Chain A
Amino acid sequence: MRIGYYPGCSLLGSSREFDESTRAVAEAIGLELVTVPDWNCCGASSAHVLDHQLSLALPARILALAEAAGLTELLAPCAACYNRLCSARTELEADPAAREAISRIIELPYQGRVKVVNILEVLDRCQDRLKAKATAPLGRKVACYYGCLLVRPPRVVAFDRPEDPMSMDRLMVLAGAEPLAWNHKTECCGAAFSVTRTDLVARMSGRIVAGAAKAGAEAIVVACPMCHSNLDMRRPECNALLQADHQLPVLFITQALGLAMGLDPVRLGLQRHMVPALLQPAAAGAKA
């Protein structure tokens, strides 16, 4: 099984562990990741705020390169990259004139034939292989946090239930963990305000951390580098505002699955987290 792979800037930078763990899990289940040659930044939040054409051209170039490389699907683990790629693809699908214009700008033929998928969709397809390899069930209570970009806007990403998604929860069941029903699954973490308005992130991410802790979670599982960064790196600010000391770690979905498959925590990048995450998977059913 092979699939196109777009790591994007964050997976090679501050969220390196997402890339490491994704590759580790992919290898373990026999999924070949074919990185798009000569890929560029997708534009993330800056492009679509500054220039509409740029926000279309950057993702279009990535998709055109993927198509030229003979790929039919492109996996973008970073939720922001995924959302930008889907948005550009949806807009260009409906507008042949725009497709032509963009093709001229990127100097590549853009046909719109490549489908964009997120990490949860791909893992969902590999359920059987994951189940077969999950030899070390996590046995923990976890809060699955989806953030906004994976499920919104519903007409663009067309993925899972926008208000109460369950795809990550189902994967955690495969990993032998207990996903909890909790109230902040899709609440915004503060996103790119991490740098410009850290106080807002402290409040918004703080609410999420507190909500997860209240529900009884031992860890939060995410599928987005921005969410991870806000819930993990900004934990001291959150705790300061909440006047609490929440130490529950934040794991990428691929890290959680990797642990359940008995992979080495260092290989999964768990040592890179701010909030200590080198926990041992408990025996199935045992309390933390």
Chain B
Amino acid sequence: MSRIGVFTCHCGENINGTVDCGKVAESARGVPGVVHSVDYKYMCSDPGQSLIKEAIREHRLTGVVVAACSPRMHEPTFRNAVAEAGLNPYLCEMANLREHCSWVHEKGEATTAKAADLVRVMVEKVKHDQPLQPIRVPVTKRALVLGGGIAGIQAALDIANAGHKVVLVEKSPSIGGHMSQLSETFPTLDCSQCILTPRMVEAARHPNITLYTYAELEKLEGFIGNFKATIRRKARSLDEKLCTGCGLCTTKCPNKKIKDEFNEGLATRGAIYVPFPQAVPNKPVIDKLNCTYYKTGKCKLCEKVCPTGAIRFDQEDELVTLDVGAIVLATGFKLMKTDQFPEYGYGKYKDVVDGMQFERLASASGPTAGAMKRPSDGKAPETVVFVACSGSRDRSKGVPYCSKVCCMYTAKHAMLYKHKMHHGKAYVFYMDIRSSGKDYDEFVRRAIEEDDVSYIRGRVSRIYEEDGQLIVQGADTLQNGRPVEIKADLVVLATAVQAQDGSEALAQKLHVSYDPYHFFAEAHPKLKPVETNTAGIFLAGACQAPRDIPETVAQASGAAAKVAGLFSRDELTREPVVAVVNRLPAPTFSYCVGCFLCQSACPYQAIEQEQIKARDGSVIRTLAKVNAGLCQGCGTCVATCRTKAIDIQGFSNEQIFAEIMTL
């Protein structure tokens, strides 16, 4: 005997402005099985929730339908309220009258009729709902942090300091990320390495953190609290226990012509190398693609000179499998390269560089030891032009979004240049100045007022090389679009921030959503910025969207807090929306015939075999059985089963047929 209560929410004017909530409540009253139907302004508020709780008690309700916003918004809210009133929370469903109705249709009869329909659908579903008990699973209190830049380091330190184990995985030979390549950071002009390296060392030394560098995630299985991650530790060709980090091998390598990634191609390195002097770990790696020995079988000089015999040419990649309970994605970003700009020379002009390359030029540990020398001939550039928004905010040829950090770092670059070359001339071509952080606008004003940087509002239409200089053709829109032509010695393009290479593949491995630009998707743009739609996987830093250092650190700490929250319990309760194979008394036992098609369809290997035995021990039947701990409730098995022996609690065949029947 169903006794359903229907509660229609006005959501202020959000629903009631377009849908006649009174009529919806009225129509619900007429549905067989509904004993109570009211409407109210804000169902999710305290008084609203009390309405529901009281009604459950007063009318002895066996099921509740809240017709309001999307269940993705408030299903947990109402299920909690219902549970507090003593009704099983899985007997509460929501009809989506807001995102799927009032917000997308015009006011009118048709819209109200649709709302009434949606309510009827959910009433039918609730009539067939079973009271379910949450499933409890243990939580592995170890976190996996993917990415060893400032985001990953901060998250790892915070989680480790909260008392939990962390495995920090970084794909390059050292942690530090892009922040380690910067010379000084805005708005304080702090030396980047000086503030970063103590954290890097702390992360390496922390007793709770295991550092795997030169390693990548190979495979991920499992679910929140119970992930199984396989990490590939690429072969360094080095016995790390014997290596003392003396660096002799790196000085002796004869093959020194390889483009140095850390210096953005402005310098070269050997085949055996340490990415930068403050690298953590400070142990070299052999670049197998470029090493003479690996390519031709000759050389091995490094092996000969190594005082401890640490070189291991035969070393293979190692696969490590870990049990982890939560994952933090902190894989960072990459910069668009100068060869993406046809108007600026297709990347062929050596003196047209991107922002990171300028950082290396300005850096005391860079290829010019911080002296302003341009890449083509080493001459000190007397005139430098900075072009902001290169590739960003460009719907036709670049990316439509703003890369956020360029206005600030362009001002910074111009200031660094002027500090090193007082008599040099610096020009910035800009569209807008976006300097909204704390002390940010004052920083940009400093560049203009104290360091005499000329800001020209306009785009650069073309750059070409003539007589050893770069002719920059732009316009000054604040002077009626007057054409401006500057003969520059060096041009720095503030190129667009993009998602890291391999982001799409990584997202697919983790079942995390991503946007068209391959930035990872947060669960809610406003209220869940550090979670993803995949339970147990969190986001930190620029892998989610272009971001500066203060925000990255804040977000990383936020992700760490979520992980610590997850780990604060020994057990996780999971939604009981799982599949169940039916069981009947002997001699039928089940509709299941033991074909195990469901087993091959299941993505989680959650179907097991169960043998029904007679009293003498002989096997009568082998039937399918669902491991509720592994089942994620997708329902693929249900559609696969030929005899309809398996069904999902919460989305059963009966329920869906009942929903269809109301339409």
A and B touch in the complex (CB under 8 A): yes
Nearest Cβ distance between residue B466 and chain A, in whole angstroms? 6
Query: Which listed residue, B343, B465, B466, B471, touches A163 by the CB 8 Å rule?
Result: B343
A162 B464 Cβ-Cβ under 8 A: no
Query: How long is the Cα–Cα vector from A163 to B462 in the complex, in angstroms?
Result: 9
Nearest Cβ distance between residue A83 and chain B, in whole angstroms? 19
- In the complex, whether B342 has a CB less than 8 A from a CB of chain A is yes
A164 B342 Cβ-Cβ under 8 A: yes
Q: Which 9 A-B pairs have the closest CB atoms?
A: A163-B342, A183-B464, A163-B343, A183-B466, A164-B346, A162-B342, A161-B342, A164-B342, A163-B346
Query: How long is the Cα–Cα vector from A43 to B342 in the complex, in angstroms?
Result: 31
Closest to B462 in A: A163
Total number of residue pairs linking A and B with CB closer than 8 Å: 15
Q: For chain B, residues 462 to 492, give those with C-beta under 8 angstroms from any C-beta of chain A.
A: 462, 464-466, 471
Nearest Cβ distance between residue A259 and chain B, in whole angstroms? 30
Query: How long is the Cα–Cα vector from A192 to B324 in the complex, in angstroms?
Result: 71
Give the chain A neighbours of B342 by CB distance below 8 A. 161-164
Query: How long is the Cα–Cα vector from A214 to B465 in the complex, in angstroms?
Result: 13
- 15 A-B residue contacts at CB 8 Å? A161-B342, A161-B346, A162-B342, A163-B342, A163-B343, A163-B346, A163-B462, A164-B342, A164-B345, A164-B346, A183-B464, A183-B465, A183-B466, A183-B471, A214-B466
Tally of chain A residues near chain B (CB < 8 A): 6
* Residues 330-349 of chain B, each 1 if its beta carbon lies under 8 Å from chain A, else 0: 00000000000011011000
Nearest Cβ distance between residue A246 and chain B, in whole angstroms? 17
Query: How long is the Cα–Cα vector from A162 to B462 in the complex, in angstroms?
Result: 12
Give the chain B neighbours of A163 by CB distance below 8 A. 342-343, 346, 462
Query: How long is the Cα–Cα vector from A43 to B345 in the complex, in angstroms?
Result: 34
Q: Which of B343, B346, B462, B464 has the most CB of A within 10 A?
A: B464
Query: How long is the Cα–Cα vector from A228 to B471 in the complex, in angstroms?
Result: 26
Query: How long is the Cα–Cα vector from A164 to B344 in the complex, in angstroms?
Result: 10
Give the chain A neighbours of B345 by CB distance below 8 A. 164
Give the chain A neighbours of B464 by CB distance below 8 A. 183
Give the chain B neighbours of A162 by CB distance below 8 A. 342
Query: How long is the Cα–Cα vector from A161 to B397 in the complex, in angstroms?
Result: 13
Nearest Cβ distance between residue B482 and chain A, in whole angstroms? 16
Give the chain A neighbours of B465 by CB distance below 8 A. 183
Nearest Cβ distance between residue B267 and chain A, in whole angstroms? 27
Closest to B348 in A: A164
Query: How long is the Cα–Cα vector from A183 to B343 in the complex, in angstroms?
Result: 11
Q: Which of B342, B465, B471 has the most CB of A within 10 A?
A: B342
Query: How long is the Cα–Cα vector from A61 to B129 in the complex, in angstroms?
Result: 68
Closest to A163 in B: B342
Q: For chain B, residues 312 to 364, give those with C-beta under 8 angstroms from any C-beta of chain A.
A: 342-343, 345-346
Nearest Cβ distance between residue B341 and chain A, in whole angstroms? 9
Give the chain B neighbours of A164 by CB distance below 8 A. 342, 345-346
Closest to B343 in A: A163
Closest to B464 in A: A183
B residues touching A (Cβ–Cβ < 8 Å)? 342-343, 345-346, 462, 464-466, 471
Query: How long is the Cα–Cα vector from A214 to B346 in the complex, in angstroms?
Result: 22
* Residues 245-273 of chain A, each 1 if its beta carbon lies under 8 Å from chain B, else 0: 00000000000000000000000000000
Known: A163-B343, A183-B464. 4 other contacts (CB 8 A): A163-B462, A164-B342, A164-B346, A183-B471
Give the chain A neighbours of B346 by CB distance below 8 A. 161, 163-164
A residues touching B (Cβ–Cβ < 8 Å)? 161-164, 183, 214
Closest to A211 in B: B466
Nearest Cβ distance between residue B395 and chain A, in whole angstroms? 13
Query: How long is the Cα–Cα vector from A134 to B471 in the complex, in angstroms?
Result: 38
Closest to A184 in B: B464
Closest to A161 in B: B342
Nearest Cβ distance between residue B349 and chain A, in whole angstroms? 11
Give the chain A neighbours of B471 by CB distance below 8 A. 183
Closest to B466 in A: A183
Query: How long is the Cα–Cα vector from A161 to B465 in the complex, in angstroms?
Result: 18
Nearest Cβ distance between residue B272 and chain A, in whole angstroms? 38
Nearest Cβ distance between residue B143 and chain A, in whole angstroms? 48
Query: How long is the Cα–Cα vector from A164 to B462 in the complex, in angstroms?
Result: 12
Query: How long is the Cα–Cα vector from A190 to B159 in the complex, in angstroms?
Result: 65
Closest to B341 in A: A163
Nearest Cβ distance between residue A278 and chain B, in whole angstroms? 32
Query: How long is the Cα–Cα vector from A162 to B464 in the complex, in angstroms?
Result: 15
Nearest Cβ distance between residue B367 and chain A, in whole angstroms? 27
Closest to B342 in A: A163
Query: How long is the Cα–Cα vector from A183 to B466 in the complex, in angstroms?
Result: 8
Nearest Cβ distance between residue B74 and chain A, in whole angstroms? 44
Nearest Cβ distance between residue A204 and chain B, in whole angstroms? 12
Closest to B397 in A: A154
Nearest Cβ distance between residue B257 and chain A, in whole angstroms? 25
Nearest Cβ distance between residue B348 and chain A, in whole angstroms? 9
Nearest Cβ distance between residue B343 and chain A, in whole angstroms? 5
Give the chain B neighbours of A214 by CB distance below 8 A. 466
Closest to B344 in A: A163
Nearest Cβ distance between residue A81 and chain B, in whole angstroms? 26
Query: How long is the Cα–Cα vector from A212 to B346 in the complex, in angstroms?
Result: 21
Query: How long is the Cα–Cα vector from A204 to B466 in the complex, in angstroms?
Result: 17
Give the chain A neighbours of B343 by CB distance below 8 A. 163
Query: How long is the Cα–Cα vector from A214 to B471 in the complex, in angstroms?
Result: 15
Nearest Cβ distance between residue B471 and chain A, in whole angstroms? 8
Nearest Cβ distance between residue B490 and chain A, in whole angstroms? 18
Closest to B471 in A: A183
Query: How long is the Cα–Cα vector from A162 to B343 in the complex, in angstroms?
Result: 9
Query: How long is the Cα–Cα vector from A287 to B271 in the complex, in angstroms?
Result: 45
Q: Which of A162, A164, A214 has the most CB of B within 10 A?
A: A164
Nearest Cβ distance between residue A252 and chain B, in whole angstroms? 25
Query: How long is the Cα–Cα vector from A163 to B461 in the complex, in angstroms?
Result: 11
Nearest Cβ distance between residue A266 and chain B, in whole angstroms? 38
Nearest Cβ distance between residue B463 and chain A, in whole angstroms? 10
Query: How long is the Cα–Cα vector from A161 to B339 in the complex, in angstroms?
Result: 13
Nearest Cβ distance between residue A7 and chain B, in whole angstroms? 32
Nearest Cβ distance between residue A198 and chain B, in whole angstroms? 20
Give the chain B neighbours of A161 by CB distance below 8 A. 342, 346
Query: How long is the Cα–Cα vector from A178 to B465 in the complex, in angstroms?
Result: 20
Query: How long is the Cα–Cα vector from A16 to B471 in the complex, in angstroms?
Result: 37
Nearest Cβ distance between residue B346 and chain A, in whole angstroms? 6
Query: How long is the Cα–Cα vector from A183 to B349 in the complex, in angstroms?
Result: 12
Give the chain B neighbours of A183 by CB distance below 8 A. 464-466, 471
Nearest Cβ distance between residue A189 and chain B, in whole angstroms? 16
Nearest Cβ distance between residue B474 and chain A, in whole angstroms? 15
Closest to B473 in A: A187
Give the chain A neighbours of B466 by CB distance below 8 A. 183, 214
Nearest Cβ distance between residue A180 and chain B, in whole angstroms? 13
Nearest Cβ distance between residue A123 and chain B, in whole angstroms? 23
Query: How long is the Cα–Cα vector from A282 to B171 in the complex, in angstroms?
Result: 58
Give the chain A neighbours of B462 by CB distance below 8 A. 163
Closest to B465 in A: A183
Closest to A164 in B: B346
Query: How long is the Cα–Cα vector from A164 to B339 in the complex, in angstroms?
Result: 13
Query: How long is the Cα–Cα vector from A183 to B464 in the complex, in angstroms?
Result: 6
Closest to B346 in A: A164
Query: How long is the Cα–Cα vector from A227 to B462 in the complex, in angstroms?
Result: 21
Query: How long is the Cα–Cα vector from A163 to B342 in the complex, in angstroms?
Result: 6
Nearest Cβ distance between residue B453 and chain A, in whole angstroms? 27
Closest to A183 in B: B464
Nearest Cβ distance between residue B461 and chain A, in whole angstroms? 10
Nearest Cβ distance between residue A185 and chain B, in whole angstroms? 10
Nearest Cβ distance between residue B340 and chain A, in whole angstroms? 12
Closest to A155 in B: B396
Query: How long is the Cα–Cα vector from A163 to B343 in the complex, in angstroms?
Result: 6
Query: How long is the Cα–Cα vector from A175 to B345 in the complex, in angstroms?
Result: 27
Closest to A186 in B: B462
Nearest Cβ distance between residue B254 and chain A, in whole angstroms? 35
Query: How long is the Cα–Cα vector from A119 to B343 in the complex, in angstroms?
Result: 25
Closest to A187 in B: B462
Query: How long is the Cα–Cα vector from A195 to B210 in the complex, in angstroms?
Result: 76
Query: How long is the Cα–Cα vector from A2 to B464 in the complex, in angstroms?
Result: 41
Closest to A214 in B: B466
Query: How long is the Cα–Cα vector from A183 to B463 in the complex, in angstroms?
Result: 9
Nearest Cβ distance between residue B486 and chain A, in whole angstroms? 15
